[in-house]
Amino acid sequence: MQENCEAVVTLTGDLHARPAASLAIAAAMFESQVALHVGDRRADAKSVLSVMGIGATSGQQVRVQAEGPDAAQAVEALSELLAQATQVGA
Amino acid sequence: MSVDATVGIVLVSHSAALADGTAALAGQMGGGKVRIATAGGTDDGRLGTSIHKVRRALAEADAGAGVIVLPDLGSSVFTVRALVAQDEPLPEPLEVADAPFVEGAVAAAVAAATGGDVKAVLAAAQEARHARKL
């Protein structure tokens, strides 16, 4: 069954290289297509360079959007990771 | 997804320091799960490339799932192509990525860490040609 799901996360730190890599690795485990939206920019969550390229910084809102059979699980897991991985000192 | 044997990555650079530094960065981004071997500099430690070092790195990176080779510039590319053209046993499958060195290595390491096959890892590395930094 195809689902469409999304959630908004406010970053507590910048989405720099290492969190972007963790996110892309986690996103790859889901069958659904997963995208991150920041303002009018969009990144494929499964592409580390695409995630880094949106240049999301602390305080910005990131919309995590997934479409596919495991969209709800993907949004839940990636939102949590996004909130944790960008914590200062992570 | 199964991550039994990940695709190996070989970084070929004129500079040993550049190859080693890029390997450290890409290795960390890949969560330490990916075999990354380097062939940097000449046999006597100068800037340049060495076919022997490339051969050794290919063997080191190969865990049975194939290898992606990323050359940095110029003679690194020639050296890799010369080796591939020779009639000698090399890891299978083997692909040479036409990609920016740092971005390609990072993208390849992440793709390999997720259990992607050689084709997927090659595609991830080559997508780096279009990745915007700003």
| Domain boundary assignment for chain A | 3-85
pLDDT beneath 70, residues of chain B = 1-3
Cα separation of B127 and B108, whole Å? 10
Would you say residue B98 lies in a domain? yes
Chain B hits for A29, Cβ within 8 Å: 1, 114
Rg (CA), chain B: 13
Q: Domain containing B36: what range?
A: 12-116
Q: Determine, for residues A49 and B107 on separate chains, whether the beta-carbon distance falls below 8 Å.
A: yes
Report CA-CA distances (Å) from B100 to B11, B69, B103: 11, 12, 6
Residue type, A51: V
CATH number of the structural domain spanning residue B24: 3.40.50.510
Whole-model pTM? 0.92
Q: Map tokens 């890799």 to a residue.
A: B80
Catalytic (active site) residue A16: yes
pLDDT at A25: 95
Cα separation of B122 and B134, whole Å? 24
Would you say residue B62 lies in a domain? yes
pLDDT at B3: 46
Q: How far does A5 lie from chain B, in Å, by closest CA?
A: 22
Cα separation of B39 and B23, whole Å? 10
Reported ipTM: 0.87
Chain B hits for A21, Cβ within 8 Å: 28-31, 106, 110
Would you say residue B126 lies in a domain? no
Q: For an interface test with B, give the residue of A48, A52, A54, A78 to mutate (most B CBs within 10 A).
A: A48
* pLDDT above 70 coverage of chain B, percent: 98
Q: Determine, for residues B107 and A48 on separate chains, whether the beta-carbon distance falls below 8 Å.
A: yes
Q: From the CB of residue A4, how many other CB atoms can be counted at a distance below 10 Å? A: 13
DSSP run (H or E) holding B131:
none
Chain B hits for A50, Cβ within 8 Å: 131
Task: Write down the CATH superfamily of domain A3-85.
Answer: HPr-like (3.30.1340.10)
Decide: helix, strand or coil at residue B96.
Answer: strand
Q: From the CB of residue B18, how many other CB atoms can be counted at a distance below 10 Å? A: 18
Q: How many domains does chain B have?
A: 1
CB A13, CB A88: distance < 8 Å:
yes
- Number of A:B CB contacts under 8 A? 46
In this prediction, residue A85 has a pLDDT band, given cuts at 50, 70 and 90, of: confident
Q: Determine, for residues B30 and A24 on separate chains, whether the beta-carbon distance falls below 8 Å.
A: no
Burial of B133 (0-12, 13-18, 19+ CB in 10 A): exposed
Q: Map tokens 């290289």 to a residue.
A: A17
In this prediction, residue A88 has a pLDDT band, given cuts at 50, 70 and 90, of: low
pLDDT at A89: 52
Query: Which residues sit opposite A67 in a β-bridge?
Result: A4, A33
Across chain A, mean pLDDT equals 93
Q: What are B19's two structure tokens?
A: 């190859």
